[in-house]
Structure 1
C-alpha cells in the first residue's frame, strides 16, 4: 500500500471551533489524515482564548485591507466567516518522528481536539512549565516582541497603560528590568490587586506620573492613547500594542505632540521586532516565551476554564461581557474519534 493509501485508510475525524457569522460559532467535524513525513499528530490538552483578537473575529470586525496580515498561522477559511481561528494550543504528540513522540508542545493552532502539523511549527514545552500554563506562550511572545520594539534602558521611567492580558504580561516582564520607575495604569481600581500580585505599582490615569521615557499602550482605547501622549516625556516613545480593528481613533496632535517631538510606534507580533529581526526567528521568540513561563506567578493570568463542548457559549459570553477573563482556558477531554467509514456516533463532537 502506498503512503497516500495508508493515509486515506487511517483517516479519522477531528472537531474544531469555527466562527460561522457575526457573534456565531460552532463545533464542526472534519477529516483528519495520518501524519506524513515530518508531521505530527497532536492531541490537544488545553487551548486559551486570546480575548482581544478572537472577539474581533467573533464580531466580524477584521478590516478587509488587513485580512491577509491578520490571518493566524494555521487558520482555515477567511474573514469574516466561516473561519477557524485561534493560536494558543497545547497538546501531546501522539504520532510523528520518534524524538517528538509523547512530548508536550505548544502550537499556534485554532481550537481543535486533534490536528496534524509539521513538527517545525511545534514548540517544546519545558519540563518546568505545566501544560495548562503553557497556553500563555503566544501572549508572552507578544509581550517579548513589544519589549524588543520598545528597547527599555537601565533606569528608564516606563508606564504600561491597560491592565488586561497583554498589558499585564508586559508589566510582568518589565518588573524584572532595572528600571527607574514602572507604573501599570488602568481606569478600573479593581486592577490594583492584580498589579500588586505582579509586584508592580498601580495607578489610575489621573494620578499617573509624567515624563516617562517609554509608554506602552495596551488599552485599545482612544482615551488611553491620548493619555499615553500626555505621560511620555519630550522626544519619548509610545509603543502602541493595541489593535483597534475597524474602529477609528482621533488624537489631539494639534497640542504638544509636534512641539515635543513625540513618536508613536506600532508593535505587532506577526513579525519579529525590527531591533531583533536579523538575529532572532519566530521560533527563537517562541522558545524564549515558553521558557519564561517556568515562573509560577504567570498563573494569575489564567482566570477560569471550561470544557471544549462549551466553547461556542464561552466565546459569546466573553463578547457580551457576562464572562470576565484575562485568559480563559479550554479543557479537552480524551475523545476516541471513529474512522470516517465507521458507524455513526451519537457524540456530536466526533
Structure 2
C-alpha cells in the first residue's frame, strides 16, 4: 500500500454554523407589491442543489453508497478503516483516494466509480412529482438551477429517472469527470466550476463552508445547510424571500400551537358521547394514544375520566425527541390513579403489542400511517375498543374575507398540490375501515390574525404553490398578507380549514377468533352463501388489504377454492402503484375489476368446488381463498405436476412467448436483463435450447440460483450491463428498467433484435443516435395475451399452454427459483415489502391458504 501523506494525524475540518442574512421588510402597499417582486427577481442568484440527501432523502440508498465505498476500498487491498478516515479528512472517500494517488489514472478512477455506484439499488427512491413541478416552474420563472454532486454522471441519471425529474430542469449538472480531473467537493477546483453568485443547498456543513470560502464574497455567494428533516424547497423559498422564514415552526412549537387550536375546535357533541361511552365501561380505563406528540390529548382525557376510575395512559410516538420534550408534562400528570407511560414505537406495532385497550386515540394521525395495517391490527388485537380520532382533514382550505382575492395564488392549486405530494384530500374517507361509527362531527379550524399556526400553514401553502404558480406571484400574495413594515400578518387575514372528529368502536365480532372467521370464509356451505378472503388494492400507491366478502357465481362459472397463488412481482408492483391506466385489463383473463379498490393477480392454483367432485386447476384469477372463474378459462393441471410447480404456469407461458418472439438462430448470443421469475424462466428455456445466454441483474443471489441449476454454463453474470460486455445478437429486457432497455439497445449487434417484455410506468429514454439508425436492429413489443401474428397460423394459445406445461415438467422451477411462502393473511406486509425491495427479498412470493383450511371443522 502506498505511503500516505501524514493526513491521519490531522483533524478533519469542522462544519461551520451558517448565519442567515437579514431580510428587507419589503413594501406592502397594494400599488407597491409588484415592484417588490420585480426588485426581488432582479437580485436572484443561481440556485445550486446537491443531490444525495437533498433532492432525495433515503437512508437505505445513501447507506448502500457508503457500503459499496467500503467494499471497493477493501477489494483493492486497503485496510478497512481507510474509507472512513479519508472521508473525515478530505470530506470525500473517492476524493481522498485520488488525492493520495491510490487511484492514479482515469481508468482506475472510472472503474472505481462504476464498481461503487452500479451496485447501488435506487428502486427505493420514490418519484417526487411535486419536486419535479417545482423545479420546472422555477425554471419557467427565470431562475437558473444547477445540480452539483459528488456522484458520477451515470448515477445522477439513474437517480433523476427514479425521482421523475428530467435533467432538462437544470441549467447545468456538475459531477466528477475525467475532463475536469475527477475533482469533487473535496477540492476547491470543484467549486470553481460553480457560479460565483450562487446559493448552494447541501446536506454537508463542510461543503457549505468550502463553497463560501471558495467564492469569498459572502453577499454574492451563500450556502444553506439542508438538514435531514428539512425540505430543500422550503429553504429555497427562504432564499427567494417568498415567505418569512420565521413563520415556520419547529416540530415541538408547531404541536403546541396546533394544540391550542385543536382544543378550541374539538366537536363538543362527540366529546359528550365519548364521555358517555367511557361511563358505560367497567373497571380501570386504559388508553393508547397513537402519534401522541406533545401529549395534547392527555389533559382532555383526564377531564373525561369518570369519577373514581383509574387511568393507564400509554403515549406512543416514533420521535424520541418529541417524547423527551413531553416527559415534563407526563410527570406533572402522574398522580394516584393516573399512570402515564411514554413509548417510542410505530403506531401499528403498538396496537399489536398492547393488551386490550378501553380507548384508542389518534389526533391528526391517519394521514401519517398505514391505515389498512392499522385497521387489521385493530380487528385482530383490539376488538371492542373505543376509537377517538379527532381533527382529520376533510378537504377544504380556503381564505375568507378580504384576504381571499390577494391569497388566490396560494389556494388556487392547493388541493392539487396535496394530491401531487401523495397526501389525501379527505382523510375522513378512511374512517369506515377502522370500525363501526358511533358519531362524527365537524371540528373546523378558523384561523385569523397573527396566529402562529396560520403562519405555518401559509408557509406550507406557499412552498407547495411554487410547483404551480410563478414564484414571483406567490411572493406577491404573501407580501399582500403581511402587515406593513413587519413579519406579522394583517389582522383581517382569515383561513378556514375543514376537519372531522370520529368516534367509533372496533367490531366485537372481530374477537370471535381467527379460526372462526377463517372457517366461515373458507367453508361457505356451513352458512349457505359462498364467501372469500381476498387481497384488495385500495388506491394508486396505497396499501393492500385482506377483505372478506361474498362470491357470486354467474352462469358458466365455477367456484374454485385456492391452494396457492403467486405474486407476479413486476406487474403487481406497477398495478399497485399506478393501476391499469387508460387500458383495460386483459378481457380474456378473470383478474377482477379495473377500478379502485381492485383485486389483482393471475397465478392461482386450486380445486373446483362441485357436486361431481374436485378437479385440480390453474386459474388466471386474483389472490383469494375462493374465486368464480369461467369454465373455459380454467387450465387442468397435469397429474405429474405438483401445485408448487403449477403456480409458475402463467410465468412459464410468458417465458415461452418471449422465446418465440426472440427466435434466436443457432449459434447466436442472447442477453437478458432481469433475473426475476419471468427472466429466470426465459433464460432456462433458452438454455434448454442450447443457446449462449448472459443474464444481467444487480441481485447476485438470483443469478447464482440460476447458475446452480445450470452449472455447465459460464455465460451467466451479474451486474447492470455495459457495452464492454460485448455485442449480442438478441436482447430481452425483462426487468422493467428503462436504463436496462437503453443498455440492451446499445449492446445489440447490427441487424440484431431487442425484445421488450416489460411494461414501463413512465417515459423511457433510449439512445436512438446515429449508431442506432445504422444498426438496422429490430425492436419487438412482446405480450402474452395473444399469439403473435407471425405464429398464429401454426400456434394457438392452447398449443402454447401445452408447451408451458411441458417446460414446467422438464425444468421444475419450484426447485431452484428463490421463493418464499406465506399466508394470504400476511398480504399487506408482503406488498409493503414489494414496494421497497431489498437484496434479501425472494424472487417469488407465494400465498398459501392451508392455514385457513385447517380451521375448518372435521365434518366438512
Stretch deviating more after TM superposition (268-277 or 141-150): 268-277
Residue of 638, 652, 657 corresponding to 1:140: 652
**CA distance, structure 1, for counterparts of residue 793 and residue 826 of structure 2:** 42
Equivalent in the alignment of 1:32? 551
Tell me if structure 1 keeps the 8 A contact 2:585–2:591. no
TM-align CA RMSD? 2.5
Tell me if structure 2 keeps the 8 A contact 1:72–1:86. no
Structure 2 unaligned spans of 5+: 1-524, 854-860
Equivalent in the alignment of 2:600? 85
1:4-83 superposed matches below 5 A: 10-21=528-539, 22-33=541-552, 36=555, 38-64=556-582, 66=583, 68-69=584-585, 73-79=589-595, 81-83=596-598
Structure with more helix by fraction: 2
What is the DSSP-based 3-state SS (H/G/I as helix, E as strand, rest coil) of the residue aligned with 1:293? helix
Equivalent in the alignment of 2:615? 103
Equivalent in the alignment of 2:369? none
Tell me if structure 1 keeps the 8 A contact 2:585–2:594. no
- C-alpha displacement of 1:147: 1.2
Equivalent in the alignment of 1:215? 731
**CA distance, structure 2, for counterparts of residue 212 and residue 111 of structure 1:** 39
What is the DSSP-based 3-state SS (H/G/I as helix, E as strand, rest coil) of the residue aligned with 1:259? helix
TM (norm. structure 1) is 0.83
What is the DSSP-based 3-state SS (H/G/I as helix, E as strand, rest coil) of the residue aligned with 1:77? coil
- C-alpha displacement of 1:171: 0.3
Tell me if structure 2 keeps the 8 A contact 1:86–1:108. yes
Equivalent in the alignment of 1:149? 661
1:202 and 2:713 equivalent? no
State the Cα deviation string for residues 214-236 of structure 1 (Å, max 9, x = none): 11111222221122122211111
Residue of 158, 170, 175 corresponding to 2:687: 175
Count of matched residue positions in the alignment of Structure 1 and Structure 2: 321
Tell me if structure 1 keeps the 8 A contact 2:534–2:623. yes
Change (3 A) 1:305 1:260: same
Residue of 606, 609, 616 corresponding to 1:94: 609
TM (norm. structure 2) is 0.35
Structure with more strand by fraction: 1
Equivalent in the alignment of 2:788? 273
Equivalent in the alignment of 1:242? 758
Tell me if structure 2 keeps the 8 A contact 1:240–1:265. yes
State the Cα deviation string for residues 310-336 of structure 1 (Å, max 9, x = none): 112211111122561211110003657
State the Cα deviation string for residues 114-150 of structure 1 (Å, max 9, x = none): 1222221111111221102211111011111111111
- C-alpha displacement of 1:89: 0.1
What is the DSSP-based 3-state SS (H/G/I as helix, E as strand, rest coil) of the residue aligned with 2:647? helix
> Is the radius of gyration larger for structure 1 or structure 2?
2
* Larger relative contact order (Cα-Cα within 8 Å, sequence gap ≥ 6): 1
**CA distance, structure 2, for counterparts of residue 286 and residue 118 of structure 1:** 17
1:117 and 2:636 equivalent? no
State the Cα deviation string for residues 198-220 of structure 1 (Å, max 9, x = none): 41422242486433221111122
Stretch deviating more after TM superposition (264-273 or 276-285): 276-285
Change (3 A) 1:119 1:70: closer
Change (3 A) 1:70 1:59: farther
Change (3 A) 1:69 1:119: closer
Tell me if structure 2 keeps the 8 A contact 1:24–1:312. yes
Structure 1 unaligned spans of 5+: 1-6, 337-350
- C-alpha displacement of 1:78: 2.0
Change (3 A) 1:192 1:46: closer
- C-alpha displacement of 1:190: 3.9
**CA distance, structure 1, for counterparts of residue 656 and residue 587 of structure 2:** 20
**CA distance, structure 2, for counterparts of residue 302 and residue 191 of structure 1:** 7
1:324 and 2:841 equivalent? yes
State the Cα deviation string for residues 240-280 of structure 1 (Å, max 9, x = none): 111112x1111110141101111211111122223322333
Residue of 308, 319, 329 corresponding to 2:824: 308
Equivalent in the alignment of 1:228? 744
State the Cα deviation string for residues 130-181 of structure 1 (Å, max 9, x = none): 10221111101111111111112222221112222221111011011133x2
Tell me if structure 2 keeps the 8 A contact 1:123–1:283. no
